[in-house]
A and B are shown apart, each in its own frame.
Chain A
Amino acid sequence: MANTSQFCTFYLDKLLFGVELKGVQEVIRSLEMTTVPLAPRVVSGLINLRGQIVTAVNLRRRLELEAAPAGTPVMNVVVRSADGAVSLLVDEIGDVVEVEEASFEPPPETLRGSVRAVVVGVHKLNHQLMHVLDIGAACQIDVNAESSTAMRG
């Protein structure tokens, strides 16, 4: 197969997402999390990953999806970003899939603005579409726009 790449897939709100496998450090079950008061909304908190303190990003919020119903188990997809490891919180882990370049398509023009930076396109799999996430963009947090710190006088 020419020009194939591997993706680590997961689900958020029943949608299938994928990040490039080579950018994924590990996948782990939920770890005890410390919330960070006043932090941007997308940051769920900090976790201790074998002595390394890792920021956990709530991917649902990052992608402007509905909040998960209470009690939904959380999985950590730990990815390597330019600024060290970051954990992306997802609902459920899928398979590792191998896709051909040919099945890729850029996102439709109708995709909304801020999500567009994160979802770089889709791979057309047999039964469904896999949203391809840009790891760097997913870990990037626009502090000014999303900070719940909300400038206090």
Chain B
Amino acid sequence: MSDGDIVKDFLIESQENLDRLDRDLVGLEKNPKDKDSLAGVFRTIHTIKGTCGFLGFNKLEKVAHVGENLLTRLRDGQLTLNPEITTALLGMVDAIRQMLKEIESTGTDGVNDYPELRETLTQLQSGASATKAAAGTAVAQVSPEPTAVGKGTKPPKENKQAAVATPAAVEFGKGTASKRAESFLEQTDGSTASRAVPVNSQAKVPGKTEDQPAAQVPEAKPRDAAPETIRVGVNLLDKLMTQVGELVLARNQLLQIANTVGDTGLHAVSQRMNLIATELQEEVMKTRMQPIGNIWSQFPRTVRDVALGCSKEVGIEMEGEKTELDKTIIEAIKDPLTHLVRNSVDHGIELPAERVKAGKARAGRLILRAFHEGGQVNIEISDDGAGLNPERIRQKAVERGVIGAEQAGRMTEREIYNLIFLPGFSTAEKVTNVSGRGVGMDVVKTNVERIGGNVDVQSTRGQGTTVRVKIPLTLAIIPALVVTCCGERYAIPQVSLLELVRLEADEVSTGIELVHGAPVYRLRGQLLPLVYLSRELKLEADTKRGSESDGAVNIVVLQADERQFGLVVDQINDTEEIVVKPLRKQLKSVKTFAGSSIMGDGKVALILDVLGLAQRASVVTETRERAITEKVAESGNQEEKQTFLLFAGPGDSRMAIPLSTLARLEEFPVAQVEMSGSQWVTQYRGKILPLVRLNVVLEERRNKLRALQAPPTADSGPIQALVVNHEGRTFGLVVEKILDIVEDPANVKSAATRAAVLYSVVIGNRVTELLDIPAILRGTDLNAARTSHGHTAAEVRN
């Protein structure tokens, strides 16, 4: 291990320790008697001090030293922690952090040795003891600790050597010094904490700490039982990811070959390899996951500082710290979350006096919650403050010309609340150094959206505000729609995808209209601007509209920054989970691509940046205003619209399911339908998909039911299936005909008239039955038993 490596390790570990210090100190302020936390704080500072002594960072050592003295007195109960001391100690943490930064960039601990800070820290010891005496105590405190002889990471011999050499510690040869430092470093690592280092005889030599850093021995007491972990570089993990990705590709090719060769032995091996590779990929993905607690850990400190700064009292609570996210996402949401937390304390929570007047506890509560939901991670930041004032926001928005007065009148409360995410919007009465400068919330929104998430705010006047951030689990692997344009494949992130529209050749001439040369398509009565991918990317063969041989046009309806547009591509291939690889700097200037990915055949495909593409095509310029106008217009007289998929049920009845329950729409040729008992099934994406027929589900007459259990007749047309995911189960719901997708408030409801129907509802002026998916599933589970039963009954009757 070279000197440089030691310094690097020292830096990494010290950073982590300091983050914990922040948390511990703030925790201690609330519970000053918490001996464990205090001991933890003490140990951390002690270790930093000891290590930097070896490494020759004397200024850093000095600062840590006075801090340690103060901590000693606290630990021995000679002093009690008060806010003043906490502030001073936090100041010390900041100073150390600053010096570490200095070491990282310059290799030295800088010129500032923080005389005032040291003075403060010394004074806070209330001058009861001289520095040296205190240091002596510190060491004396260490020595009687029980020294569990650990699994012997470092042979005791080495420590002995060091001990013997103590008087000459300053002249240590480099090799010995680094070895010593190494053993220290290992000890600072939480994971190795259980391996205690044998106690050092020097610890019993008091009063030498000041000029002999080698005499500092960290306590041998094990911290909380640490799991068996090792530190692995992120680079290594990334490389592993890449290699596993390649393995998956090789596996795919092998599977193809195995299928054509027809050798059973080869087939078996390739199947096994298939499983192993899949599992391996999942496991490697997991190594990149980190608990969100890693970034939350600094929030108690943030909250404390902000609260102190604006004379408020705020307690922070956390739920779901263990919720895991990909490390890239963790990094990306750190700043937005910090901003939201600061904002809640600064704007959300009232001053103690106001709170008391409103009948609340003096101290405000800030609650952070994180949980998984539907493949996404939800993070909520709630406060029990005054809540947002919709009137004031409305007024401000009109004042600043963000929206028109008439528009403002029509907006719902929720829409009003979300105005705070617009650029240049701030309702803070006075500008503080924390927030209220009108920058921030829009940046939060932009940053969250950049990683495919979204932000929403809810508020109850007088009771508080909740900001909910929804983000994907990982950026490394995303679901994407693969399309082809001019012979090249492009991936479109699923998060931007709204729907797919296919215009058959005979519909093209009437379906696509021109607004002064700009092509548009009428999507449920609204004009959807069309963007031709081939033209935007200046690809060859952009003369033909739909270069697919049959002349049909495929429109991918995309969402970019609140605007929708239709992207015309040659062919829509499939959805796939793709591994995202960033573009190198040579291509960073190309804003239409967000990254690249390796496809199943080993070729590289580019990932479209939907926002970049929209900007290039001028769909999105400064249209935020327009987007709002539209949103307002859309939601003119009701609160929540739901989107339904309409389809024809048996006997020309209109039926619907909420679009949100739908995974995909599929068309299967009859030849692909197989029978499993009396159940129709088909092979779908490597799995067996049960096909539930609506006419069977809804049929009540037994004898007719029997006829329906026959396999499909070969001459009937392809079957339309709605692929539905429900509670982890996927099935295809076979319907007669898919009609449309509509948005409707669905306000007029009446009770269901038959099983498997949730209720009847008026959608688009027609009575429509809303299907009860869980009931249908239950029905099919029982179906097997019930039909065989019904079967015999019918036969008996015959």
Residues of A within 8 A of B (CB): 32-40, 42-43, 45-48, 50-53, 55, 57, 83-84, 86, 139, 141, 143, 147, 149, 152
- Contact present for B602 and A139 (CB under 8 Å): no
CB-based contact A51/B606 at 8 Å: no
Residue in chain B with minimal CB distance to A150: B538
Instruction: Tell whether, in the assembled complex, residue A34 and residue B603 are in contact, meaning their CB atoms are under 8 Å apart.
Output: yes
Inside 8 A of A37's CB, which chain B residues have their CB? 537-539, 592
B584 in contact with A34 (CB, 8 Å): no
Q: Does B302 contact A (CB under 8 A)?
A: no
Using a CB–CB distance below 8 Å, which chain B residues touch chain A? Answer: 242-243, 245-246, 249, 488, 537-539, 581, 583-590, 592-593, 596, 598, 602-606, 616
Bound-state CA distance A52–B604 (Å) is 10
* A37-B537, A47-B604 known; A55 vs B586 contact (CB < 8 Å): yes
Question: Which residues of B sit under 8 angstroms from A53, Cβ to Cβ?
Answer: 581, 596, 598, 604
Q: Give the CA-CA distance A42 to B538 in the complex, in Å.
A: 17
23 example contacts (A-B, Cβ-Cβ < 8 A) are as follows A32-B602, A34-B488, A34-B596, A34-B604, A34-B606, A35-B488, A38-B537, A38-B592, A40-B586, A40-B587, A40-B589, A46-B596, A46-B606, A48-B604, A51-B242, A53-B581, A55-B583, A55-B587, A83-B584, A83-B585, A86-B584, A86-B586, A139-B586
Selected contact of B584 from candidates A42, A84, A143, CB within 8 Å: A84
When distances are taken between beta carbons in the complex, the residues of chain B under 8 Å from A86 are 584, 586
Chain A positions within 8 Å of B604 at CB level: 33-34, 45-48, 53
Is the beta-carbon distance between B585 and A51 smaller than 8 angstroms? no
CB pair B592 A48 closer than 8 Å: no
* Residue on B nearest A45 in the bound complex, by CB: B604
Q: Which among A52, A57, A139, A149 is the interface contact of B589 at CB below 8 angstroms?
A: A149
Q: Is the interface of B mostly helix, strand, loop or mixed?
A: mixed
Which one, A35, A52, A57, contacts B586 given CB within 8 A?
A: A57
Q: Within the assembled complex, what's the spacing in Å between the Cα atoms of A139 and B488?
A: 25
Return the chain A residue nearest B601 by Cβ.
A32
* Contact B605 A34, beta carbon cutoff 8 Å: yes
Instruction: Tell me whether A152 and B616 are in contact (CB under 8 A).
Output: yes
Q: Hey, which chain A residues are within 8 Å of B242, CB to CB?
A: 51-52
- CB-CB under 8 A from B581, the residues of chain A are 53
What is the CA–CA distance of A87 and B565 in the complex, to the nearest angstrom? Answer: 37
Closest B residue by C-beta to A32: B603
A70 smallest CB distance to B (angstroms) = 15
Give the chain B neighbours of A45 by CB distance below 8 A: 604
Docked Cα-Cα span, A144 to B587, in Å, equals 12
Least distance between A79 CB and chain B CB atoms (Å): 13
Determine the residue in chain B with the shortest Cβ distance to A153: B618
CA distance A99 to B611 in the complex (A): 52
Q: List the 8 shortest-distance A-B pairs measured between CB atoms, nearest first.
A: A37-B537, A51-B246, A34-B604, A143-B589, A51-B242, A46-B604, A141-B586, A55-B584
Known: A57-B586, A147-B589. 5 other contacts (CB 8 A): A40-B586, A40-B587, A46-B596, A46-B604, A143-B589
By a CB distance below 8 angstroms, the chain B residues around A47 are 604
Complex: A38 Cα to B609 Cα, angstroms: 13
Which residues of chain B are within 8 angstroms of A46 by Cβ–Cβ distance? 596, 604, 606
Q: Do B538 and A51 touch (CB < 8 A)?
A: no
Question: Please, which residue of chain B has its CB at the minimum distance from the CB of A50?
Answer: B246
Cα–Cα distance between A149 and B245 once the two chains are bound (Å): 32
Q: Given A48-B598, A48-B603, A50-B246, are A36 and B585 neighbors across the interface (CB < 8 Å)?
A: no
Q: A46-B604, A47-B604, A53-B581 are in contact. Are A39 and B587 (CB under 8 A)?
A: yes
In the bound complex, residues from chain A placing their C-beta under 8 Å from that of B586 are 39-40, 42-43, 55, 57, 83, 86, 139, 141
Known contacts A34-B488, A47-B604; A39/B584 CB under 8 A:
no
Say how far B251's CB is from chain A's closest CB, in angstroms.
13
Closest to A148 in B: B538
Once A48-B602, A53-B596 are accepted as A-B contacts, the answer to whether A36 and B587 lie under 8 Å apart by CB is: yes
Please measure, in the bound complex, the distance between the C-alpha atom of A43 and the C-alpha atom of B539, giving whole angstroms. 16
Closest to B581 in A: A53
B594: min CB distance to chain A, Å: 12
Question: How far is the CB of A90 from the nearest CB of chain B, in Å?
Answer: 17
Bound CA span A153–B235, Å: 40
A149 touches B243 (CB 8 A): no
The answer for the CA separation of A149 and B280 in the assembled complex, in Å, is 41
Bound CA span A64–B616, Å: 29
Using Cβ atoms and an 8 Å threshold, which residues of chain A touch B488? 34-35
Q: Which of B539, B590, B598, B602 contacts A149 (CB 8 A)?
A: B590
Interface centre among B488, B585, B604 (most CB of A within 10 A): B604
The CA-CA distance from A152 to B588 in the complex, in Å, is 17
Q: How far is the CA of A66 from the CA of B52 in the complex (A)?
A: 60
Instruction: Assess A38 versus B598: contact at CB under 8 Å? Given A47-B604, A139-B586.
Output: no
Q: How far is the CA of A55 from the CA of B585 in the complex (A)?
A: 9
Distance, CA A105 to CA B605, complexed state (A):
43
The answer on a CB contact under 8 Å between B598 and A43 is no
Instruction: Indicate whether A51 sits within 8 Å of B603 (C-beta atoms), given known contacts A34-B488, A36-B593, A149-B589.
Output: no
Which one, B587, B588, B590, B598, contacts A51 given CB within 8 A?
A: B598
Cβ contacts under 8 Å, A143 to chain B: 588-589
Question: Known: A34-B605, A152-B616. Contact between A51 and B592, CB under 8 A?
Answer: no
**In the complex the two chains form, what is the Cα distance from A142 to B438 in whole Å?**
36
Q: How far is the CA of A47 from the CA of B605 in the complex (A)?
A: 10
- Bound CA span A33–B538, Å: 18
CA distance A34 to B246 in the complex (A): 17
Contact A39 to B590, CB < 8 A, known contacts A34-B605, A34-B606, A53-B581: yes
Give A36 to B249 CA distance when docked, in angstroms: 22
* CA gap between A143 and B583 in the complex, in Å: 14
Smallest CB separation, B482 vs chain A (Å)? 13
Contacts of B585 in A (CB 8 A): 83
CA distance A48 to B598 in the complex (A): 7
For the complex, what is the distance from the CA of A42 to the CA of B589, rounded to whole Å?
Answer: 13
Closest chain B residue to A38 by CB distance?
B590
